[in-house]
Chains A and B, each alone.
Chain A
């Protein structure tokens, strides 16, 4: 069968490009690539029959998410929870992207603003990181993979496809009709049909084959009036890093470098290329490209492996680091952690000044705050230079608009992660994984709205942005300068809200729509001791079936797993002690208090109670235990019909 015939029969739609990696011979060209199993000669000893294995499947979803990193997981979970039947397609055997055990980058976010404090992301990304604290006390990266696996697999409306790469878009005009995906472990070609596609894969192959406009390289300073951009545009894309880790074996350990090691020339190395902390890897072992960074990946990987062993040889055998005598490599990466490649064009391109001037957008859906941290051209090839330039440290959170998260020219395509619509300089800050995860939750939620309203992402931005923001806020995303005001929230309609004790804040603040203390303003209620009670009173009986509470997890202290297991005022290596552990709610029905629900081992900041609809004149929230704090602090109470 000719390739053209296959698509005609299989999908009756046009294909944007010819990239399916199928059987080829030494002398064939792309025109010979065919997905054709007619010649398969399978003799099945069990059945005694000869046949052709089924290697093609088609499935229909409401949303297809490509890429299983922090952004993709967030997008897929958000879409599924908001009612869309969703599939998450991940090309690796594990979830987590750069943070997975295959790469082991710290899942950073707004780790620290200029005031010295973190302003951590909440919502789906926080749920994942908290689950890891409950299930992975030993802080093992391979266990983290499984924590994420559990987190995704437990979503009832979500299908996960591992070892599956989206390789080509099937188009219908400016709309993606299907994603062709190759699952390497089953030799299966999947055709995934959906009205909405989200590319969170970083490199964005599906989006590129769909014909979505994109750019690579560095913008000229003049294009967006950027201070830190080069005068002239160029093709440079920041490098990918290859990490390693080592272990103190308790006795002297020898090291012999492999033949491909590239000798580390420490004499000319810039002093900022620090070796201190080598036990946990050296982040500046990185290589980028000023041309086609995706095409260069395998060549760069080989050279990075050479550099990695060259640096380790220097640490072990130069005599400069006697403290390394007992150390041996216990893990070496083989998959460089990518920072930059394609950036797709949306209706808005976020640039440096948007960040540094804290631009406020009516369609803000995410935030960031990692410094503008531009790794230098050349990477480790440019060893005489410092490895990165921290151009700018942020005082506050900057906003990210929804218009940068969907394609300008492909009508049903959204993005989240490093491939969104932004300049190279903006990417230097926003590429950080927890920031990408916030974008993911935003586009996943937007995808569900697209399906509910039968519309496009652009129209969501124009007509339903308030609905999108309200849903994100309800789902525990923080959007700077955008307090929640959900008309369906019945807690706002209570006549009276009061607490048994108060040590700081005020019970009335729990319905003000701002779910964290921010910019020096208190938005919480905190008890004086435990147990503590809150009571909401309505004038008339009010039908309720859901109560949602946001508790304190200390967003000023980072909770992601680190190789050094740092545990101090800025980082924790355990469950935040402020979190609510045991909580119950009661409703007053006909003057009598009735139990509506109880949770004994809460694991989330957003605590949800669902119960059979009950007409109450009051509810009582009783917190009996935290994970260590003497007082309980809450940020929000919502009630729904």
Chain B
């Protein structure tokens, strides 16, 4: 029964294999160099980008060898690995009648094939951490882990995490499926994407797509309204990845930068607000007093000590102060103590109006033992 099922799986894989290989004229082949932790030297391979009729990348595939064999005693089977457009492993295929082997020439059972697929899907598989030396150490060499010269012990993995007797195959394929190639795929996808596709990636609300799209937009220096609208819509609807957004804004023109970073500061969450303020603190672009004052006018909307601290740090770094800034900050003296104390120290050595001065004096009197 199991053998029959196994044959069915192989036939199924074969059908897909042939269809993709011959029928899709949109596919593009790339010669890539991939580092595999089981190999001493980087490996050259052909990575095929699969596109739909509209030209959208739908995925990739690459043919690899089933096992790294250092002593020429293993049976090596070609395996085709498939990924989606951002490098998530999807499935594997074998050639017609090909079978994967286990220790001592046992062949994979139907369950072993399914299990291998599950292992390759698991981005946090124990194979991520183990070394090929562990896999190659067989049980009768256990005793090399001695106190005088410590060698490797045989790898002991939970049976749910490996195909017993085929740890080397699992290790080899896991690193092909989840290793260096993922970065290569992401780079190819973004590099070959149309601007329409990049906007679509932003709209997916998935962090990997978002980061990939922003990186590419930054690289292409594209700042049209459509992209910015998509970005701010994304920021409004989900906690965005901060760094690519800031990097994107920082790479734009001075006017564009100040406009967009301010918008991020206003509508962003706490992490985004702080990041925006830090960006303004550190940028070499010259901000006008009106701009800085307008930023400070949002002081009363800030929710945490860290946000207020970042705002004041920015004002201190820019050496900007005005009566209006003091007006914006003075109400915070009545809020959360730590935040109020931060504001107090900022205001205490500034030239203030009488009302502002009185507020500072009151705070000092109230908290004389805590400042």
Contact of A440 with B by CB under 8 A: no
Q: For chain A residues 115-130, which have a beta carbon within 8 Å of chain B?
A: 115-117
Whether A106 contacts B143 by the Cβ 8 Å rule is: no
Residues of A contacting B341 with CB < 8 Å? 617
Question: A432 to B131, alpha carbons, bound, how many Å?
Answer: 24
Among the listed A108, A272, A280, A393, which residue makes an inter-chain contact with B147, where contact means beta carbons less than 8 Å apart? A108
Task: Kindly supply a per-residue 1/0 record for chain B positions 94-128, scoring 1 wherever the CB is within 8 Å of any chain A CB and 0 otherwise.
Answer: 00000000000000000000000000000000100
A-contacting 9-mer, from B149-157, B172-180, B216-224: B149-157
Residues of B contacting A284 with CB < 8 Å? 146
Residues of A contacting B309 with CB < 8 Å? 535
Question: A387 to B149, alpha carbons, bound, how many Å?
Answer: 13
Contact of B144 with A by CB under 8 A: yes
User: Given the known A-B contacts A272-B143, A390-B143, A539-B370, are A495 and B338 also in contact in the complex, defined by CB atoms under 8 Å?
Assistant: yes
Residues of A contacting B150 with CB < 8 Å? 106, 108, 111, 562
Contact of A149 with B by CB under 8 A: no
Whether B370 contacts A106 by the Cβ 8 Å rule is: no
Question: A386 to B141, alpha carbons, bound, how many Å?
Answer: 11
Task: Kindly supply a per-residue 1/0 record for chain A positions 89-111, scoring 1 wherever the CB is within 8 Å of any chain B CB and 0 otherwise.
Answer: 00000000000000001101001
User: Given the known A-B contacts A116-B155, A591-B345, are A272 and B140 also in contact in the complex, defined by CB atoms under 8 Å?
Assistant: yes
Given contacts A283-B147, A387-B146, A500-B278, 15 further A-B contacts (CB under 8 A): A108-B147, A108-B150, A271-B140, A272-B143, A281-B148, A283-B146, A337-B148, A393-B153, A432-B147, A495-B338, A528-B243, A537-B305, A539-B338, A541-B370, A541-B371
Whether A388 contacts B146 by the Cβ 8 Å rule is: yes
Whether A112 contacts B148 by the Cβ 8 Å rule is: no
Contact of A201 with B by CB under 8 A: no
Residue of A nearest to B156 (CB): A114
Residue of A nearest to B129 (CB): A116
Contact of B134 with A by CB under 8 A: yes
Question: A114 to B157, alpha carbons, bound, how many Å?
Answer: 8
Whether A105 contacts B153 by the Cβ 8 Å rule is: no
Contact of B142 with A by CB under 8 A: yes
Contact of A371 with B by CB under 8 A: yes
Whether B337 contacts A106 by the Cβ 8 Å rule is: no
Residue of B nearest to A503 (CB): B243
User: Given the known A-B contacts A116-B155, A496-B338, A591-B345, are A431 and B144 also in contact in the complex, defined by CB atoms under 8 Å?
Assistant: no
Residues of A contacting B134 with CB < 8 Å? 116
Question: A564 to B153, alpha carbons, bound, how many Å?
Answer: 17
Contact of A34 with B by CB under 8 A: no
Residue of B nearest to A272 (CB): B143
How many positions in chain B have a CB within 8 Å of any CB in the partner chain? Answer: 35
Whether A570 contacts B131 by the Cβ 8 Å rule is: yes
Question: A590 to B146, alpha carbons, bound, how many Å?
Answer: 59
5 contacts between A and B (CB under 8 A): A371-B153, A496-B305, A498-B305, A500-B278, A537-B338
Question: A387 to B143, alpha carbons, bound, how many Å?
Answer: 8
Interface majority SS (helix, strand, loop, mixed), chain A: loop
User: Given the known A-B contacts A116-B155, A541-B371, are A105 and B305 also in contact in the complex, defined by CB atoms under 8 Å?
Assistant: no
User: Given the known A-B contacts A496-B338, A498-B306, A591-B371, are A241 and B145 also in contact in the complex, defined by CB atoms under 8 Å?
Assistant: no
Whether A373 contacts B147 by the Cβ 8 Å rule is: yes
Residues of B contacting A432 with CB < 8 Å? 147
Distance (whole angstroms) from the CB of B191 to the closest CB of chain A:
24
Residues of B contacting A590 with CB < 8 Å? 371
Task: Kindly supply a per-residue 1/0 record for chain B positions 350-371, scoring 1 wherever the CB is within 8 Å of any chain A CB and 0 otherwise.
Answer: 0000000000000000000111
Residues of A contacting B151 with CB < 8 Å? 277
Distance (whole angstroms) from the CB of A231 to the closest CB of chain B:
24
Residues of A contacting B322 with CB < 8 Å? none
Contact of A312 with B by CB under 8 A: no
Question: A112 to B155, alpha carbons, bound, how many Å?
Answer: 11
Task: Kindly supply a per-residue 1/0 record for chain B positions 338-350, scoring 1 wherever the CB is within 8 Å of any chain A CB and 0 otherwise.
Answer: 1001001100100
Residues of A contacting B156 with CB < 8 Å? 114, 393
Distance (whole angstroms) from the CB of A202 to the closest CB of chain B:
14
Residue of B nearest to A285 (CB): B148
Q: For chain A residues 568-603, which have a beta carbon within 8 Å of chain B?
A: 568-570, 590-592
Distance (whole angstroms) from the CB of B274 to the closest CB of chain A:
9
Residue of A nearest to B345 (CB): A591
Question: A617 to B140, alpha carbons, bound, how many Å?
Answer: 62
Question: A591 to B146, alpha carbons, bound, how many Å?
Answer: 58
Contact of B43 with A by CB under 8 A: no
Minimum-distance CB pairs A-B, first 3: A591-B345, A283-B148, A540-B370
Question: A114 to B155, alpha carbons, bound, how many Å?
Answer: 8
Contact of A563 with B by CB under 8 A: yes
Whether A106 contacts B153 by the Cβ 8 Å rule is: no
Residue of A nearest to B348 (CB): A591
User: Given the known A-B contacts A272-B140, A496-B338, A537-B305, are A112 and B147 also in contact in the complex, defined by CB atoms under 8 Å?
Assistant: no
Distance (whole angstroms) from the CB of B106 to the closest CB of chain A:
24
Distance (whole angstroms) from the CB of B21 to the closest CB of chain A:
37
Question: A284 to B129, alpha carbons, bound, how many Å?
Answer: 31
Most buried by A among B150, B341, B344: B150
Q: For chain B residues 255-314, which have a beta carbon within 8 Å of chain A?
A: 278, 305-306, 309
Whether A106 contacts B129 by the Cβ 8 Å rule is: no
Residues of A contacting B129 with CB < 8 Å? 116-117, 569
Task: Kindly supply a per-residue 1/0 record for chain A positions 205-230, scoring 1 wherever the CB is within 8 Å of any chain B CB and 0 otherwise.
Answer: 00000000000000000000000000
Residues of B contacting A535 with CB < 8 Å? 309
User: Given the known A-B contacts A541-B370, A617-B341, are A431 and B153 also in contact in the complex, defined by CB atoms under 8 Å?
Assistant: no
Task: Kindly supply a per-residue 1/0 record for chain B positions 182-219, scoring 1 wherever the CB is within 8 Å of any chain A CB and 0 otherwise.
Answer: 00000000000000000000000000000000000000
Question: A337 to B130, alpha carbons, bound, how many Å?
Answer: 32
Whether A280 contacts B143 by the Cβ 8 Å rule is: no
Contact of A76 with B by CB under 8 A: no
Distance (whole angstroms) from the CB of B255 to the closest CB of chain A:
27
Question: A537 to B306, alpha carbons, bound, how many Å?
Answer: 11
Residues of A contacting B148 with CB < 8 Å? 105-106, 241, 243, 281, 283, 337
Question: A539 to B134, alpha carbons, bound, how many Å?
Answer: 53
Contact of A57 with B by CB under 8 A: no
Residues of A contacting B306 with CB < 8 Å? 498
Question: A528 to B338, alpha carbons, bound, how many Å?
Answer: 25
Contact of A274 with B by CB under 8 A: yes
Residues of B contacting A108 with CB < 8 Å? 147, 150
Most buried by B among A116, A496, A498, A528: A116
Residues of A contacting B146 with CB < 8 Å? 283-284, 373, 387-388
Question: A404 to B143, alpha carbons, bound, how many Å?
Answer: 29
Contact of A182 with B by CB under 8 A: no
Whether B147 contacts A431 by the Cβ 8 Å rule is: yes
Question: A144 to B289, alpha carbons, bound, how many Å?
Answer: 61
Contact of A478 with B by CB under 8 A: no
Contact of A370 with B by CB under 8 A: yes
Residue of B nearest to A429 (CB): B147
Residues of B contacting A393 with CB < 8 Å? 153, 156
Distance (whole angstroms) from the CB of A561 to the closest CB of chain B:
12
User: Given the known A-B contacts A386-B143, A495-B338, A591-B371, are A568 and B131 also in contact in the complex, defined by CB atoms under 8 Å?
Assistant: yes
